[in-house]
Amino acid sequence: MSPDPSPLSPPDTGDQGRDILSLRDFRLRFRGQPVPTVNGIDLKVAAGEILCIVGESGCGKSVTAMSIMGLLPPRSSEVLSGSLDFLGKSYDLRHENLPAGQRGNQIAMIFQEPMTSLNPSFTVGNQIAESVLQHQGGSRAEAMERAHDMLVKVGIPAPRQRLNEYPYQLSGGMRQRVMIAMALANDPKLLIADEPTTALDVTIQAQILDLIRDLRRETGMGTMMITHDLGVVAEIADSVAVMYGGEVVEYGPVTEIFDNPQHPYTIGLMSAMPRLDQPGGRLAIVPGSVPSMANMPSGCRFRSRCAFAHARCADPAPKVEAAPGHSVACHFAPLEQNLAVTA
């Protein structure tokens, strides 16, 4: 099977900020899988930008994030290609990861499971201070002071007291705040948030999203947020990458993706989202489910579920610029015009 030749490029973010991270042609295969799980991904995050990566479970979004962090178990997978530019340095992901000195320092990550992501045996203060000590050195007292300041920053009440508490004494929302405090303790340039609000109830979700947005404004950090919740995307994103089957199928500014979706998968996702402004009727679904890697179709990976699939979809989908900064990987893009022609 030939790799798809024309992965989507990120939109030009213009003069909004310089790129902090750019990932090019990232392809990764898990051992024992016939085809790459992640098949040629390009992403870019600029300073102050919030990029949301959306897609169903198993589309490769978390794997991509973990690879950027260098957290995938090395023996389980193989990077086929991919180069990572981070803060002006370039890394060939086939042979190297980001150095551990960057992890938790310039680039930090928070996870989906706030209940289990903190170590139950150590105090909150200890766990934040540890990260500070690891990357900045200094005395323990200074690190604890920094931990305290971070708890204040993420809006935890009675921070002085919380420092000496254990994770079990905190609620899920508070634990996620602690995770954020820990991640941001060393002023990272990029925050990767892997479904940070999925495990939280709706009001806490909104608080955490607000917090991430505020911190972005204060610190100017870039954020890569992984989610399958389009509500979250609409709430917070500057730009959106829609992933399907290990590929980015549509990439662009958030307004473009929501108002002018071009890829049949994106359109399906949009119509599957309940909307208050168009009440009535049943929600649409994207028929079928994501095929396993063993059954992944050649060419366009979405064609087995696509209502518009055509013989030529067996070839790799070309990349089409639907609007400035808005690209889509589909033979029929822009969809509406081309469907009229084919019909």
Q: Is 291 in contact with 281 (CB distance < 8 Å)?
A: no
Residue from 62, 64, 77, 102 touching other proteins (CB under 8 A): that is 102
Site for other proteins in 158-217 (CB under 8 A): 166, 168-169, 179, 182-183
Please count the residues of this chain forming the interface with other proteins, following the rule CB under 8 A: 30
Helices (H), 260-300: 264-271
Evaluate the CA torsion angle 287, 290, 292, 293 in order and state its sign. positive
Quote the radius of gyration of the chain (alpha carbons, Å). Answer: 21
Min separation Cβ 33 and other proteins, Å: 19
Question: Is residue 22 part of the contact set for other proteins (CB under 8 A)?
Answer: no
Question: Is residue 108 part of the contact set for other proteins (CB under 8 A)?
Answer: yes
112: phi then psi, degrees, rounded to nearest 5? -70, -30
- DSSP character string of 25-82: EEEEEETT-SS-SEEEEEEEEETT-EEEEE--TTSSHHHHHHHHHT-S-GGGEEEEEE
Residue from 23, 50, 69, 233 touching other proteins (CB under 8 A): that is 69
Spatial distance between the Cα atoms of 191 and 225, rounded to a whole number of angstroms: 8
User: Among 117-125, 139-147, 216-224, 239-247, which window interacts with other proteins (CB under 8 A)?
Assistant: 117-125
Spatial distance between the Cα atoms of 289 and 221, rounded to a whole number of angstroms: 36
User: Among 39-47, 121-129, 137-145, 204-212, which window interacts with other proteins (CB under 8 A)?
Assistant: 121-129
User: Among 109-117, 142-150, 208-216, 231-239, which window interacts with other proteins (CB under 8 A)?
Assistant: 109-117
Residue from 97, 131, 227, 327 touching other proteins (CB under 8 A): that is 131
Residues that bind other proteins (CB under 8 A): 69, 71, 100-105, 108-109, 111, 113, 116-123, 130-131, 134-135, 166, 168-169, 179, 182-183
